[in-house]
Amino acid sequence: MIRTDWTLDEAAAIHALPFPDLIHQAQTLHRAHFDPTAIETASLLSIKTGGCPEDCGYCSQSAHYDTGVKATKLMGAEEVIAAAKRAKDAGAQRFCMGAAWRSPKDRDMDKLTDMVRGVADLGLETCMTLGMLSPEQVTKLKNARLDFYNHNIDTSPEYYAEIASTRTMEDRLETVEHVRKGGIKVCCGGILGMGEAEADRISMLVTLATLPSHPDSVPVNLWNAVKGVPVQGKSEKVDPFALVRLVALARILMPASVVRLSAGRTGMSDELQSLCFLAGANSIFVGNQLLTTENPATWKDNDLLQRLGMHVAPAKPASRSAKIAAQ
């Protein structure tokens, strides 16, 4: 049963279960909705890096901080499509395009929709993260065959003001709702290790699990150290078992959502990643780099899955509407 009425007390009680009971419950639900031996793969490209006007205290791309990241202009569609083809050849099923913006300008929408169409024509699932969107922008991206839109809530409502002041949690949730109502699948998760308490991590997942519809995809990120940003001074390394518990809780609260191990995998052992898979994580980013951070080499991911007797999930066939739009 898919519930959207979870309470903080219920989630905290599940999170506190003895580890074997927690993993058993998560794995049981995981098997009810997914092939437990299959891992989805996605590739991520920064199509416009740095110079972002937001002051998110964890981010290397904010113009408010001296992080050494140089601002770039929006890439051309042909260059992006070529990168998508390389990602597909390397085994990616979904291609995600990220731009460091508060929100895209209307003058950029034609170029963005050209990117989406070109990537979709390759047979890849399409995903973008561009900041806040208006309903009109959602419609344009939907018509171009955008499958997913990523817009993380980052942390709990209670802790949000500690990491950003140029936008609010309400701003984030408004865009998530625009995307959902516009018929694009929602990719929405958060970041661990920014100085938040355990209660904040649980609250973040409850916030997602009590949306009108659960996100289709829930990325779980570990914060990567960035010099020059405010979070650097209060960040704390996430205990490995705390990460596994959060993955298991995400799987239990949102049993039909894909749970992705996103940023931070370079610092995870094979054993920790395997525990996360057992707890219900069933998606990873592939390729040597995410937006501005490193990612495990493809051969390492392939080697781990082979040793576990697991495999990359088969690519999903294009929807009928997408096929019609392509004709």
Q: Which residues are catalytic?
A: 52, 56, 59, 96, 127, 187, 260
List the one residue out of 215, 283, 271 whose CA is nearest residue 244: 271
Dihedral angle, C-alpha 272, 60, 48, 167, nearest 10 °: 100
Residue 322: burial class (beta carbons within 10 Å; 0-12, 13-18, 19+) = middle
Q: What are phi and psi of 125, to 5 degrees?
A: -70, 145
Q: Are 184 and 148 in contact (CB under 8 A)?
A: yes
Cα(265)–Cα(104) distance, rounded to whole angstroms? 29
DSSP string, 282-295: -EEE-SSBSSSSB-
Cα(286)–Cα(74) distance, rounded to whole angstroms? 23
Q: Which residues have CB under 8 Å from 70's CB, separation 6+?
A: 49, 50
